[in-house]
Structure 1
Amino acid sequence: MFDQLKTRFAALERRMTERHGTDLSVPGARRAALWHFHLMDHGLLRILWTNLVEIAPGVWRSNQPSPARLRRYRDMGIRTVISLRGSERPHSHWLLEEEACAALGLRLEAVTLKARRLVPRETLLMLLDLFDRAERPMVMHCKSGSDRAGLAAALYLIHAGGTPVAEARRMLSWRFLHNRRSKAGVLDLVLDRYEADTARSPMTLRDWISTRYDPDAIKSDFKAGRS
């Protein structure tokens, strides 16, 4: 029964995605994208729940903002928006965000992180580079603002602020609805491994990612720990 409902839901989402396509200027596309955004992407749940927190002066984290919330961010002084959901798949959230940021004069950047999987070192280094050059004030977000935003926020604090891992780890907590005991707990293990490695041989986060970060090994250790 559950598998049948899951299959039907996936089929419905595909149909709604096809209706809004990749061009919001097509008649009916924007309406379809808004329906998809609020229903399939859970935008309705985020109308009042924003998961918005300033983690450092001029640096914020949140869940996926709507066009209306992006306007409020602009009015707050935000200049750069970093989507941790990537831009490879032009779903409703990206199309609406891209359109709104262009209209509001906000710089939109994208890096693809995963909530339950580890990404290659090149992606994490790209994120650090983005932190270095992004105009502030800025906000980084994923879908819920819990897992990917938590890891990115922790990496930012360590990389840009020299924050101890023990303190930066608070970015991945129940306060933001992150559950270490779920599959998203593999993200916590990244910080654990960095902390353990640098306790023996201090190095910057960038150097550690470049030379020691091994997503396959961390994934294997995480699976072994869960079993």
Structure 2
Amino acid sequence: MTDASLPESQALPRLEGPERWRAWWHLMAQDHGFIRSIYLNKHLVRDDLWRAAQPSPWHLERLAKAGFRTVLNLRGSERDNYRYRLERETCERLGLKLISLPIRSRRPLKREVMIDAINVWDQIEGPTLMHCKSGADRTGLMSTLYLHVKHGVPMREAMGELSLRYGHLRQGKTGIVDYVFETFADRHDETGITFRDWVETEYDPDSLKASFRDQWFASLIVDKVLRRE
């Protein structure tokens, strides 16, 4: 899971010449980085964990200067992804630990991915910046987990991280995140089961996906206007 642990044989080639220009074009234009240059949607979750949208190299430089030690990337680490390669190179240059935990926000996480999401907090070294593309949905999911699993904040209270304040629309397909957590909260009220035990013994992503209903107009905004992943 941790990028720094990849064998040398799997090391990515450095971005040089035209490839580097393509990487910057992909980040700033195709990935909407020009918007994040103005507003990164960066917020403190608790203690030394922050949430944000996809940082650019100059954002990472500022983080390193401010004493940050870890970057938790929720978008993935595909070898042919220019945006990821640029982020990884920058973190290596700055001495930032980069951890990749690819998750999605418009369908329930697979059980093994949800367990990884519960366990990932044991790997981070704060201060930590956690990011997805827009800092709204996947960071909201992980912030909720962090508060509930690591700090014992009641699930419904922790779900305050899934808020329109951060750009999260629970009425659209991204509302599946809220639905999963609310389903657990109801079950916890009935039995007192912990989230980890619920995931390991009762969690059924396919059933949750089948029973969730989104509002078409909100999903249109999420999918076509905001182009959430």
Measured against the shorter chain, the TM-score band is 0.7 to 0.9
Pair 1:163 & 2:153 matched = yes
* Greater alpha carbon shift after TM alignment, 141-150 vs 131-140: 131-140
User: For each residue in 1:56-95, what CA deviation from the matched residue of structure 2 results, as whole angstroms up to 9, or x when unmatched?
Assistant: 1001110000010011111222111111111135322211
- Once the two structures are TM-superposed, the CA of residue 206 in structure 1 deviates from its matched residue by 1.5
State the 4+ residue runs in structure 1 displaced beyond 2 angstroms.
Answer: 22-27
Partner of 1:115: 105
Aligned partner of residue 217 in structure 1, secondary structure: helix
Q: Give the 5 Å matches for 1:89-108.
A: 90-108=80-98
- Once the two structures are TM-superposed, the CA of residue 133 in structure 1 deviates from its matched residue by 2.5
User: For each residue in 1:114-166, what CA deviation from the matched residue of structure 2 results, as whole angstroms up to 9, or x when unmatched?
Assistant: 12122211111112211122111111110000011100110111000101112
Query: 2:96 & 2:19 partners in 1: Cα distance?
Result: 23
Paired positions, count: 205
AA aligned to 1:97 is: E
- The answer as to whether partners of 2:15 and 2:86 remain within 8 angstroms in 1 is no
- The answer as to whether partners of 2:51 and 2:130 remain within 8 angstroms in 1 is yes
Pair 1:68 & 2:58 matched = yes
- Once the two structures are TM-superposed, the CA of residue 199 in structure 1 deviates from its matched residue by 0.5
Query: 1:26 & 1:159 partners in 2: Cα distance?
Result: 42
Query: 1:141 & 1:159 partners in 2: Cα distance?
Result: 19
Query: 1:50 & 1:112 partners in 2: Cα distance?
Result: 20
Pair 1:183 & 2:183 matched = no
Query: 1:26 & 1:128 partners in 2: Cα distance?
Result: 37
Query: 1:131 & 1:188 partners in 2: Cα distance?
Result: 21
Aligned partner of residue 82 in structure 1, secondary structure: strand
Partner of 1:128: 118
Aligned-residue RMSD, C-alpha: 1.5
Partner of 1:211: 201
Q: Structure 1 residues 112, 25: closer, same or farther in 2, change over 3 A? A: closer
Q: Structure 1 residues 167, 90: closer, same or farther in 2, change over 3 A? A: farther
- The answer as to whether partners of 2:156 and 2:182 remain within 8 angstroms in 1 is no
Which of 48, 57, 68 lines up with 2:47 in the alignment?
Answer: 57
Aligned partner of residue 139 in structure 1, secondary structure: strand
Query: 2:27 & 2:91 partners in 1: Cα distance?
Result: 16
What TM-score results when the alignment is normalised by the length of structure 1?
0.86
Partner of 1:8: none
Query: 1:221 & 1:76 partners in 2: Cα distance?
Result: 45
Partner of 1:41: 31
Query: 1:90 & 1:62 partners in 2: Cα distance?
Result: 23
Query: 2:89 & 2:120 partners in 1: Cα distance?
Result: 21
- The answer as to whether partners of 1:23 and 1:29 remain within 8 angstroms in 2 is no
Aligned partner of residue 113 in structure 1, secondary structure: coil
Gaps of 5+ in 2: 1-11, 217-229
